[in-house]
């Protein structure tokens, strides 16, 4: 496996995230915002997005898994216990990428009776799932991307930009 050139630079990512952060700030003025980071993939966008939201938001983390190498196993599981009290809270799920929709469908269903409202931000979408995103950064082709939190076999997450992964 090798990665190709840059698909989105650090600057392009940051600019788009700042726009969405400003929109979220407007939309959640009178709400009790909880930003929920879906680990591990969203860790980098989560940090940048949170800094662009000018509200007293609570910060929470959840770990799910569905991917093995570059193929979705289709089976989504929650890692560890979930004991965050979301009663009366407006949860914004922060995810790296929407692919088949298995992960986010599972999470939305899991949270829906636990919170006042549940919305979804995903930095990228491959636009092939019926799941509705409330906020999204970029539509991409059906390719496997890495960097800026996204991995292949746990590597490339620390790249400050996003690249397409290609067969060697
Ligand atoms: P879904 O459940 O098929 O929508 O997959 C969502 C999860 O798979 C994301 O949270 C990512 O962790 C991972 N994933 C999907 N597509 C990619 C990709 O192109 N690069 C890296 N990870 C991906
Ligand atoms: Mg993920």
**If you measure from the C-alpha of residue 126 to the centroid of ligand 1, how many angstroms do you get, rounded to a whole number?**
9
Confidence at residue 5, expressed as pLDDT on a 0 to 100 scale: 81
Indicate whether 27 belongs to any domain: yes
Confidence at residue 51, expressed as pLDDT on a 0 to 100 scale: 98
From residue 111, give the alpha-carbon distance in Å to each of 7, 62, 108, 144. Answer: 33, 11, 5, 28
Indicate whether 3 belongs to any domain: no
Q: What is the mean pLDDT of residues 67-84?
A: 75
Indicate whether 166 belongs to any domain: no
Number of domains in the chain: 1
Answer yes or no: is the C-beta of 100 below 6 A from any ligand 1 atom. yes
Indicate whether 168 belongs to any domain: no
Answer yes or no: is the C-beta of 7 below 6 A from any ligand 1 atom. no
Indicate whether 164 belongs to any domain: no
pTM of the predicted protein model: 0.94
pLDDT confidence bin for 2, thresholds 50/70/90: low
* Structure token digits, residue 85: 């009290």
From residue 155, give the alpha-carbon distance in Å to each of 2, 70, 83, 165. Answer: 11, 12, 30, 11
Using one digit for the tens of pLDDT, what is the confidence trace for 93-140? 999 999 999 999 999 999 999 999 999 999 999 999 999 999 999 999
Indicate whether 107 belongs to any domain: yes
Secondary structure (DSSP) of 94-129: EEEEESSSHHHHHHHHHHTTTSSEEEEEEEEE-S-S
**If you measure from the C-alpha of residue 73 to the centroid of ligand 1, how many angstroms do you get, rounded to a whole number?**
11
Confidence at residue 77, expressed as pLDDT on a 0 to 100 scale: 82
Indicate whether 146 belongs to any domain: no
Phi then psi dihedrals of residue 84, to 5 deg: -90, 130
Indicate whether 152 belongs to any domain: no
**CATH number of the structural domain spanning residue 34:** 3.40.50.2020
CB atoms within 10 A of CB 2: 8
State which residues form the domain around 125.
11-140
């Amino acid at each position: 496996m090798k990665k190709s050139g840059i698909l989105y630079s650090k600057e392009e990512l940051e600019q788009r995230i700042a726009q969405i952060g400003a929109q979220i700030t407007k939309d959640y003025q009178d709400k009790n915002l909880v930003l929920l980071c879906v680990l591990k993939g969203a860790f980098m966008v989560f940090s940048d997005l949170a800094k662009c939201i000018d509200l007293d938001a609570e910060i929470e983390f959840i770990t799910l898994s569905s991917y093995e190498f570059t193929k979705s196993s289709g089976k989504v599981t929650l890692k560890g216990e979930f004991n965050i009290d979301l009663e009366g809270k407006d949860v914004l799920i922060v995810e790296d990428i929407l692919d088949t929709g298995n992960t986010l469908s599972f999470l939305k269903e899991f949270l829906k009776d636990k919170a006042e409202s549940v919305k979804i931000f995903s930095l990228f979408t491959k636009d092939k799932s019926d799941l509705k995103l409330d906020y999204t950064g970029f539509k991409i082709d059906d390719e496997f991307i890495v960097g800026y939190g996204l991995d292949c076999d746990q590597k490339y997450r620390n790249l400050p930009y996003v690249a397409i992964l290609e067969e060697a």
